[in-house]
Chain A
């Protein structure tokens, strides 16, 4: 089963939202972008427990607007035979060409077109009932319902339970035999009669054991003493104590007893069998995912993971994500770990952000359709992915630009605790990885970043003949463009405004660190020459920008880079549109 379309209206943080995943969905987002609301929205429709729990309250309405219902609609495709039969009266035709549910067709033959698929729509609706001060929740089939007149065709519980769906969060128990446990579900799905028999045997054994307590003299005697005075009340006359009192575990409820079973794992590290929480925290996370993976394989389920990779290393997270992606069904991974994106196609990646008016919006990656886009795709992987969880990105020409800015920002943080761009939600990325890099790379990368809803600040040099054309292209592609001063590239910026003697010390430090033997004497260079030589030096050995920043004396930072950082943060936070001259 797959969600082909998800539509929210007035639900929690979303005024309105439509998502049409192609395959799987890996969802990143800025803080407050709505990842957990989205995971919850899916659960409201697919989790059979939702209506039983009556999950909704007035906070589920966007901006507490109680006058309009909060709704979540899912279009479900890739239905297995059981689901198609269960929902036979509610099937509709989905067009893979227009990515919409078709309201009607003229010729029944067209139902069979290859681009068409039979799907079912399910809709959750929370409605505020003023008179009773409560939220009324229903789950219905829109095809046979009339929302205007309030005639709803409700989803039958047994049909809802048949929808293959699992949601996992990091609080969930693993290898849980309780009624709601995924492990239990897997065991039941596998068929067979041994498990039910094992439950009965276990219950009997535990029952007998518990009952035997009152047969032990030590216990029995005390019981007799305790109960003696109220014997009449208990109609105790002529009855043995064990017939009157019995010990039962967990109040005798099978559910409680099975829930109380927890797995203990021996990792042969000398600790013996230990409960999972006593092992390193990633063990539980990995096992939880392994369980979910098995469940997804078993019934091609839609799997929602609220905080995917939270407790995992990047490598493990990628591995598991790749496994999830290659199993049938559909994964919805809500994550903050950009590395995971490496194993997804761009069109499977979503980013939640806030628009200028503070409303939540969603952006979806696009499959490259031509050669130039495929080149850009390389940028995407290296540069855009890390920026997905940021609100804005400064796009620089090459890696030296990025490293210069980042190292100055870090030095500044250490010296004066000034927040670096990242702490303001501004990532610094560069266009250098595509090979071309430079001033033509910036617009390309910026276009990709903007397509994902990232506020994009292009940062370009002013050291070429066709500076105006370059600026124009950058302004067209970026939200804001900061152009370095006339005649400048990043090296000039690192040096401008740094005092002669501070610069000399830094150059000496660089020569020390690198072991270079320049044909000039740093000690005797005049200011002008010193600056010229410093620029040459910075560009040598594949770039010494970072080392230079390190080599600057304590308390000294390149003032123009500091200015650039502040301008970048200002442009991002205050959404300054167009050309800004540094």
Chain B
């Protein structure tokens, strides 16, 4: 293999869009890469950028303390903080460091004589620059114009992809074969939908063998039908279920429905919830020792709550938590008793404190965010295990803070952590690198598909991608009067 004969200092960079794609690649390539695994560095664009900034940002005027990343939720609730970077700052800053220091650029270029980029059709200008700057020799670009779905991001376009394609020394067309569904039924279905040939034989074929189900709901939001579809899929043995809603607003509503029905699920693309839950847990530990005020504890909870929310404005309860309006009395009481418990536990061990904070959200009368908090709580307990037997002290809390901060930033940068549940909920644009046994699309009457008219080229590509995520079955839930984009499903 190429790597085995190459210099021992060289490695391969594999760049992709999401952390979940990273883990998919890692698990699939395990056998293939035996012996050279540690020399293939699979990372997202943002984690690469963060790595460069963390390593060399201090030599670009960024200061020596670790680079703080500001979550979207914090910005939404409390306003922008100039001292912190946002997710969107990462790639441009990394690019600037690489452009301005030859030594740093050459360091990365000699590290990666081969750079592989997945989903290159969806790279934007900055990402493409970063790719060029770290590449020390050859690039292997994997792309599929039919999966171009980030057209709403500046610089991402069909034309760009064509330019990239034209610049390649060699273009290899891969034959159509899906590792997800080796029978080829679902890929054929996805392809037919992309070109809007709903009468293509692949469509009835999928319907006939049960891999495609079309469900029309009569009224309401389709919630009952969705729950039914999830239960059916699980009963049929699906170990993972991906539910796609069209917009953030509809995903938010679906989340509430599922929460109310007691169906545990995670919202994909809200790694912030994981990160902010961890941050709130640390604040609670500080509160226990009097290093944080009860107001600071409430603010951290408010940020967490905001991070579980997809709307553009923070939820009312979060506003109330930071004192902008009155809190419901039950919540006020629950918060007071949490505060007492935190202060009371101060003379015990880190273990007891950790357990208290890891489950604290569940004792508040707030439905939202429970599974995210629980998952973060497990993570928190894992992180604190090594110092669990220590007494609670300024030292141990500081140590704990440092341990957690690392994971918090990783969660923000890597877009992951929260996505490991069996049922995941996301919008159509968050499909990158994800796959599930069962895929469910929930369409609503008020779905807005932009200004695009027939033949809906961009939106059909989105459908193609989201359908092709399925390993086994696709269920399409349609309202009484579906949008023309998906209306042909109704007549099948």
Q: Can you list 27 A-B contacts (CB < 8 A)?
A: A81-B9, A82-B8, A85-B107, A85-B110, A85-B111, A86-B9, A88-B55, A88-B107, A89-B55, A90-B55, A93-B59, A103-B58, A104-B61, A104-B62, A104-B64, A105-B58, A106-B61, A108-B104, A109-B100, A110-B59, A111-B101, A111-B104, A112-B102, A112-B103, A118-B103, A149-B395, A150-B402
Q: A148 in the interface, Cβ–Cβ < 8 Å? A: yes
Cβ–Cβ contact B107 & A108, under 8 A = no
Closest residue of B by beta carbon distance from A80: B9
Q: How far is the CA of A461 from the CA of B485 in the complex (A)?
A: 110
B51-70 contacts to A, CB under 8 A, are 51, 54-56, 58-64
Query: Given A106-B61, A108-B96, A151 and B399 touching (CB < 8 A)?
Result: yes
Does A471 lie at the interface of the complex (its beta carbon under 8 Å from any beta carbon of B)?
no
- Min CB distance, B309 to chain A, in Å? 31
A355 close to B (CB within 8 Å): no
The 9 A-B residue pairs with the shortest CB-CB distance in the complex, in nearest-first order: A151-B402, A149-B402, A149-B398, A108-B100, A105-B59, A108-B60, A111-B101, A82-B9, A150-B399
For A151, give the chain B residue with the smallest CB separation: B402
Q: Is A130 an interface residue (CB 8 A)?
A: no
Please state if B107 and A109 are interface contacts (CB–CB under 8 Å).
no
Q: A144-B54, A150-B395 are in contact. List 10 more A-B contacts (CB 8 A).
A: A85-B111, A88-B108, A90-B55, A91-B55, A91-B107, A108-B56, A108-B101, A110-B59, A112-B102, A151-B402
Q: Check if B398 sits within 8 Å of A148, measured CB to CB.
A: yes
| B199 contacts partner chain A, Cβ-Cβ < 8 Å | no
Interface residues, chain A, with chain B CB atoms under 8 Å away: 81-82, 84-86, 88-91, 93, 102-112, 118, 144, 146, 148-151
Nearest-CB distance from B268 to chain A (Å)? Answer: 29
- In the assembled complex, B89 has its CB within 8 A of some CB on chain A: no
> Is B406's beta carbon under 8 Å from chain A?
yes
Name the B residues within 8 Å of A82 (CB-CB): 8-9
Q: For B315, list chain A residues within 8 Å (CB).
A: none
Bound Cα distance A103, B395 (Å)? 25
B25 within 8 A of A: no
Q: Mark B50-93, 1 if CB is under 8 A from A, else 0.
A: 01001110111111100000000000000000000000000000
Interface check B97, CB cutoff 8 A? yes
Q: A393 to chain B: closest CB distance in Å? A: 45
List the A side residues contacting B398 at CB < 8 Å: 148-150
**Could you tell me if A103 and B64 are in contact, using CB atoms closer than 8 angstroms?**
yes
A107 pairs with B100, CB closer than 8 A: yes
Indicate which residue in A85, A107, A108 contacts B11 across the interface (CB closer than 8 Å). Answer: A85
Closest chain A residue to B110, Cβ basis: A81
**Contact A107–B102 (Cβ < 8 Å):** no
| Chain B hits for A148, CB < 8 A | 398
Interface string of B98-135 (1 = CB under 8 A from A): 00111110011011000000000000000000000000
Please indicate the chain A residues that have their CB under 8 angstroms from the CB of B179 in the complex.
none
Residues B101 and A112 in contact, CB atoms below 8 Å apart: yes
Task: Output the least CB separation between A106 and chain B (Å).
Answer: 5
For A150, the chain B residues whose CB sits under 8 A away are: 395, 398-399, 402
Closest to A145 in B: B402
Interface size range on B against A:
20 to 34
Q: How far is the CA of A146 from the CA of B62 in the complex (A)?
A: 18
* Closest beta carbon of chain A to B433's beta carbon, Å: 25
B-side contacts of A118, CB under 8 Å = 103, 107
- Which residues of B come within 8 Å of A, CB atoms? 7-11, 51, 54-56, 58-64, 96-97, 100-104, 107-108, 110-111, 395, 398-399, 401-403, 406
**Complex interface: chain A residues within 8 A of B97 (CB):** 108
Q: Shortest CB–CB separation between residue A136 and chain B, in angstroms?
A: 12
Q: Given A89-B54, A151-B403, A151-B406, are A111 and B59 also a contact pair (CB < 8 Å)?
A: yes
B59 CB contact (under 8 Å) in A84, A89, A108: A108
Cα distance A109–B54 in the bound complex, in angstroms: 17
B112 CB to closest chain A CB (Å) equals: 10
Bound Cα distance from A144 to B62, whole angstroms = 15
Chain B min CB distance to A154 (Å): 12
Evaluate contact between B55 and A109: CB separation under 8 angstroms.
no
Taking A88-B55, A89-B54 as contacts, is the C-beta distance between A146 and B110 under 8 angstroms? no
Instruction: Give min CB distance, A118 to chain B, whole Å.
Output: 6
- Minimum CB–CB distance for A219 against chain B, Å: 46
For B63, what are the chain A residues with a Cβ–Cβ distance below 8 Å? 104
Residues in A whose Cβ lies below 8 Å from that of B406? 151
Which A residues are CB-close (under 8 A) to B59?
A: 93, 102, 104-105, 108, 110-111
State the CA gap A89–B399 with chains docked (Å): 22
How far in angstroms is the closest Cβ of chain A from B398? Answer: 4
Q: Are A149 and B401 in contact (CB under 8 A)?
A: yes
What residues of chain A lie closer than 8 Å to B102, measured between beta carbons?
Answer: 112
Which residues of chain A are within 8 angstroms of B96 by Cβ–Cβ distance? 108
B9 to chain A, nearest CB (A): 4
Whole-angstrom CA separation of A107 from B62 in the bound complex: 10
Which residues on the B side are within 8 Å of A112 (C-beta)? 101-103
Distance (whole angstroms) from the CB of A318 to the closest CB of chain B = 37
Closest to A156 in B: B38
Measured CB to CB, the closest approach of chain B to A300, in angstroms, equals 14
**Which B residues are CB-close (under 8 A) to A91?**
55-56, 107
In Å, the complex CA distance between A103 and B399 comes to 23
Report Cα–Cα, A89/B54, bound state, in Å.
8
Q: In the complex, which residues of chain B have a beta carbon less than 8 angstroms from the beta carbon of A109?
A: 100-101
B427 to chain A, nearest CB (A): 34
The CA of A149 and the CA of B285, in the complex, are separated in Å by 14
Q: Is the CB of A111 within 8 A of B395?
A: no
Please give the distance in Å from B399's CB to the nearest CB on chain A.
4
CA distance A108 to B110 in the complex (A): 19
CA of A108 to CA of B104 in the docked complex: distance in angstroms?
9
Given contacts A81-B9, A148-B398, A151-B399, contact A105 B107 (CB under 8 A): no
Chain B residue, CB-CB nearest to A85: B9
Cα-based distance from A106 to B58 in the complex (angstroms)? 8
CB distance from B58 to the nearest CB of A (A): 4
Pairwise interchain contact A105-B61, C-beta atoms closer than 8 A: yes
Contacts of A102 in B (CB 8 A): 59
- Complex: A106 Cα to B8 Cα, angstroms: 33
For A84, give its contact among B7, B56, B107, B399 (CB under 8 Å).
B107
Which of A88, A108, A111, A149 has most chain B Cβ within 10 Å? Answer: A108
Most buried by A among B7, B10, B59: B59
How far, in whole Å, are A157 and B54 apart by their CA atoms in the complex?
23
Residue of A at shortest CB range from B401? A149
Q: Is the CB of B9 within 8 A of A104?
A: no
Distance (whole angstroms) from the CB of A56 to the closest CB of chain B: 20
Q: Which residues of B contact A151 (CB under 8 A)?
A: 399, 402-403, 406
| Complex-state Cα separation, A104 to B59, whole angstroms | 5
How far is it, in angstroms, between the C-alpha of A151 and the C-alpha of B66 when the chains are bound? 13
Q: Are B402 and A81 in contact (CB under 8 A)?
A: no
- Minimum C-beta distance from B180 to chain A (A): 35
Docked Cα-Cα span, A118 to B59, in Å, equals 12
Kindly provide the distance from the CB of B394 to the nearest chain A CB, expressed in whole angstroms. 10
Whole-angstrom CA separation of A139 from B39 in the bound complex:
23
Query: Whole-angstrom distance between the alpha carbons of A144 and B405 in the complex?
Result: 13
